A and B are shown apart, each in its own frame.
Chain A
C-alpha cells in the first residue's frame, strides 16, 4: 500500500513539473521588470509581449512587477546591487521611476543604450536627459508621461475646487469626503503632497530646478502643520488603486489620481461615468517612467530591440495612447500623426493642453524630494 502511494505521488509530481511553464529550455527568456501599478505590468504582458514574440519566435517575454511607487524601483535597484559581482544580470529591461534612474546612473548600474536604438532620436523632451536634477542623457527613453489630477464625482460635487486653497475650504465644509494615500503605497499621494508644498512655498521653481539648499526645508514647517490639520479631515487610502477604488464605491467624493489609471478604470467599468478630472492650481506633478537596460543585462541586444519596439511611433500610438491612456514618451508630434483626432483628443477631455502647460509640474530635484518625504514622515504622520 505504501509503495503505491509513493508511486502515485511521484507521478503526480512529474505531471506537475511537466505542466509548469518556464521549463521550455529551447527559448530565450527576456526578463522585463516593471516598477509600477498592475496596468503597467499588464501593458508588457498583454500588449507588448505578444507583438515582440511574434517577431522573435525564439523568445519568451517574462513580465514581472515589483509594485507601485518608488518602493518598486527600490526593489529593482537592490536586486541589481546584490548581483553586481555577477557576470550577467537577470534583468534585461527595467522600467523605473525618476529618482531610482538618477541613483542607478550615478552608480554605474545602467547601460548607455540610447545611441544604439533608432527611436532614441525621436525624444527631445527635457525629461529624457534630466531626471530630478540628475543627468541621465543616453541612459533612458521615457516610456510615457503621466500626470496627476483630482478626480471628483460630478453628481455629488457640483462645484469642484480649482486650487489647493479652495480644496482646503471644501474639505473643511465636507470632512471625510476627500481621500489620498499619504506617501505610502503609491505616487498619487506623493504628488498631492508635493503639489501642496509647491502651493505653500514662495519658490516652487527652485524646488524643481535647483540648486539644492539644505536650509530650505526649515521654511516648510507651516505648510506641514497645515497639511497635518488637513489630514484630520480626510480619509487615508491604501494606494493609487485604493483611491480610485474608494471613488468607485462612493466612499470618497474626491481624490488625487493618475490620469491614465483613471481613464483605464473608467473604461473597465470600475468607476461610474459621473467621475471627472480637474487639474488644480498652482499645479500638480507628473512623471515619466523610464525604459532602461541594466549594464550587464544577459540579453542586451534583445533588450534594445524590445525597447525600440516599445518606443516606436506605432506602438506608442496604439498601445500607450489608445489602449492605456498615457501621454506618449517620445515626441508628441511623432505619435499624433499615427492617430485620428478623436483618439488623440480623448486624452485631453478634462485636462486640456493649456492645463498641462500651466499646471503640469515636474517632481522636485532628488535632494528636495527626499526632504519633502522625510518632512512629511516627521511632521505630518
Chain B
C-alpha cells in the first residue's frame, strides 16, 4: 500500500512548477541579465557601472543589515533571557505582552510610523523635549541610515525574540537552577548556560531576518531621503527611471552575494553543532 513515487511526485508538481516558473526562472534571468549589455554580448560593464555609481550604497547596505542583525540578536537575547530568568512574575507577563506588538505590523506601516516618529521634530524628539531630556531646537533627526536600522530592529526583534524565547522556555531548568544555587549572576547564566543552548534557534531567526532586510524596499524609500541608502532603492530607481535591467540585476547579484555570506555562517554553525553533538 505504499504510494508510488510517481504519484507523490505528481502531487508536488503543480506547486513545484509555480515556484520554478515564477521564482527560479526569473532568478536565472536576473543572473544572465546582469552580465549582458544592451546588445546581448556578455560583459562585466553592468557591475562596473553599479560599483561606480552605487558603491557607497553597497557598503552601507551591508553595514545597515549587519548592524541591525547584531542589535536584533542582542535585544532578543535580552528579552528571552528576562522571560526565562526574570524574578518578577508581573514584569515577565507585562514584557511578554508588550514585546510582540511590532511583529504583526507590516514593514510598510512600520516605515510610515517611524517616518514621523523619528523626524527632527517628530514625536520621539518632542516627547523627550516635553520631559526635559533634550531641547528640540538642537534635536537630531534620524531619517537616514540610522532610521532604517531603528525600523528594522523594531520590526524584526519580536520575531527573533519569539523564536529564542520559545527555545529558552523548553530548556531543562536543572542546569539553570544549579547555577543559581551556586550564586552565579543572572547575566552570567544567560551568557554561559542559556544562550549556547539556544544558539541554533537564534541563528535561524537572525539568518531569516538578514535575508528579509536585504529584500525590503518600502523602509529605505520612505525613511531615508538621499544617499547613502540601501541598494534596493537604487534597483528600483534604475528600473523606473531608465529601464536599466542590466545594472539593476547586477545590484541584485550583489545582494545574493551578501545572502551567501549569511548562508555560509548558518551552515558553518550547523556543522559545528553537529560536530559538537
Do A and B interact with each other, yes or no? yes
Q: List A residues at the B interface (Cβ < 8 Å).
A: 67, 69-71, 74-75, 78, 179, 181-182, 184, 235-238, 242, 249-251, 377-378, 381
Assuming the contacts A181-B226, A235-B225, A378-B53, asked whether A71 and B120 have C-beta atoms less than 8 A apart, the reply is no
Among B101-121, those with CB < 8 Å from A are: 119-121
Measured between C-beta atoms, what is the minimum distance from A114 to chain B in Å? 29
In-complex Cβ contact of A182 among B52, B53, B226, B243 (8 A): B226
Q: Give the residue among B53, B224, B241, B242 with the most A Cβ atoms within 10 A.
A: B241
Q: Is B222 an interface residue (CB 8 A)?
A: yes
Q: Is B25 an interface residue (CB 8 A)?
A: no
Q: Can you list 30 A-B contacts with CB-CB less than 8 angstroms, sorted by A residue number?
A: A67-B240, A70-B241, A71-B237, A71-B240, A74-B240, A74-B242, A74-B243, A75-B240, A78-B243, A179-B225, A181-B225, A182-B227, A184-B226, A184-B237, A184-B241, A236-B225, A236-B226, A236-B227, A237-B225, A237-B226, A238-B224, A238-B225, A249-B119, A249-B121, A249-B122, A251-B119, A251-B120, A251-B141, A377-B53, A378-B52
Measured between C-beta atoms, what is the minimum distance from A79 to chain B in Å? 12
**Chain B residues, CB < 8 A from A238:** 221-222, 224-226
Q: Give A249 to B126 CA distance when docked, in angstroms.
A: 12
**Chain A residues, CB < 8 A from B53:** 377-378, 381
Q: Give A378 to B221 CA distance when docked, in angstroms.
A: 21
**Chain B residues, CB < 8 A from A377:** 53
A-B contact count (CB 8 A): 47
Are B121 and A251 in contact, with the CB atoms below 8 A?
A: yes
Q: B216-259 toward A: CB 8 Å interface, digit per residue (1/0)?
A: 00000110111100000000010011110000000000000000
**Chain A residues, CB < 8 A from B240:** 67, 71, 74-75
- Considering the complex, give the chain B residue whose CB is closest to the CB of A182: B226
Q: Give A69 to B242 CA distance when docked, in angstroms.
A: 12
Interface size class of B (residues with CB under 8 A): 10 to 19
**Chain A residues, CB < 8 A from B226:** 181-182, 184, 236-238
By Cβ-Cβ distance, the 6 closest A-B pairs, closest first, are A236-B226, A251-B120, A71-B241, A71-B240, A236-B225, A238-B225
Q: Give A249 to B118 CA distance when docked, in angstroms.
A: 12
Q: Give A24 to B241 CA distance when docked, in angstroms.
A: 35
Q: Give A381 to B240 CA distance when docked, in angstroms.
A: 18
- Considering the complex, give the chain A residue whose CB is closest to the CB of B224: A238
**Chain A residues, CB < 8 A from B52:** 378
Contacts beyond the supplied A184-B237, A236-B226: 5 A-B pairs with Cβ under 8 Å: A71-B241, A184-B241, A237-B226, A238-B226, A251-B120
**Chain A residues, CB < 8 A from B119:** 249, 251
Are B225 and A381 in contact, with the CB atoms below 8 A?
A: no
Q: Give A278 to B272 CA distance when docked, in angstroms.
A: 66
- Considering the complex, give the chain B residue whose CB is closest to the CB of A189: B226
Q: Give A377 to B238 CA distance when docked, in angstroms.
A: 12
Q: Give A67 to B237 CA distance when docked, in angstroms.
A: 12
Assuming the contacts A71-B241, A184-B237, A378-B52, asked whether A242 and B120 have C-beta atoms less than 8 A apart, the reply is no
Q: Give the residue among A71, A237, A377 with the most B Cβ atoms within 10 A.
A: A71
Measured between C-beta atoms, what is the minimum distance from A372 to chain B in Å? 14
**Chain A residues, CB < 8 A from B141:** 251
- Considering the complex, give the chain A residue whose CB is closest to the CB of B54: A381
Assuming the contacts A249-B119, A251-B119, A251-B121, asked whether A381 and B241 have C-beta atoms less than 8 A apart, the reply is no
- Considering the complex, give the chain A residue whose CB is closest to the CB of B143: A251
Are A250 and B121 in contact, with the CB atoms below 8 A?
A: yes
**Chain B residues, CB < 8 A from A182:** 226-227
**Chain B residues, CB < 8 A from A75:** 240
- Considering the complex, give the chain B residue whose CB is closest to the CB of A236: B226
Among B93-144, those with CB < 8 Å from A are: 119-122, 141
**Chain B residues, CB < 8 A from A181:** 225-226
Among B192-234, those with CB < 8 Å from A are: 221-222, 224-227
Measured between C-beta atoms, what is the minimum distance from B271 to chain A in Å? 42
Q: Give the residue among B52, B120, B122 with the most A Cβ atoms within 10 A.
A: B120
Q: Give A242 to B226 CA distance when docked, in angstroms.
A: 11
Q: Give A78 to B237 CA distance when docked, in angstroms.
A: 15
Q: Give A145 to B85 CA distance when docked, in angstroms.
A: 67
**Chain A residues, CB < 8 A from B237:** 71, 184
- Considering the complex, give the chain A residue whose CB is closest to the CB of B221: A238
Q: Give A381 to B55 CA distance when docked, in angstroms.
A: 11
Q: Give A182 to B243 CA distance when docked, in angstroms.
A: 19
Q: B43-66 toward A: CB 8 Å interface, digit per residue (1/0)?
A: 000000000110000000000000
**Chain A residues, CB < 8 A from B242:** 74
Q: Give the residue among A235, A237, A378 with the most B Cβ atoms within 10 A.
A: A235
Q: Give A377 to B227 CA distance when docked, in angstroms.
A: 11
Q: Give A74 to B236 CA distance when docked, in angstroms.
A: 13
Measured between C-beta atoms, what is the minimum distance from B230 to chain A in Å? 13
